[in-house]
Amino acid sequence: MALAWTLGKPGVTSTLLGARTPAQLEDNLGALALELTDAQVARLDAAGAITLGQPHDLLAGEPIRQVTTGGLRIEARR
């Protein structure tokens, strides 16, 4: 499930497998066939969420963003 969740993330460019045996490799490759529902993805996103804290909070603030980007916003599309 973790591999399927990672594969579905638009910002992830590669997913690493950690198989030592052919059986583990087969299990890992099973993630390619697993389709998670929107509710499952949302639940996994919530479970994996972290608080970045400082200095991220300061740098993500409106005053700093205005100075560094002129207010430009880049948003990921799904």
Domain ranges of the chain: 2-50
Per-residue confidence (pLDDT) for residue 57, from 0 to 100: 85
Q: One-letter amino acid identity for 45?
A: D
d(CA 51, CA 65): 19
pTM, to two decimals? 0.61
Per-residue pLDDT 10s for the chain (78 aa) are 999 999 999 888 888 888 999 999 999 999 999 999 999 999 999 998 988 888 888 888 888 888 888 877 778 777
Angle among Cα 21, 23, 28 to the nearest 5 degrees reads: 95
Instruction: Provide the 8-state DSSP code for 32.
Output: G
The count of other CB atoms within 10 Å of the CB of residue 37 is 8
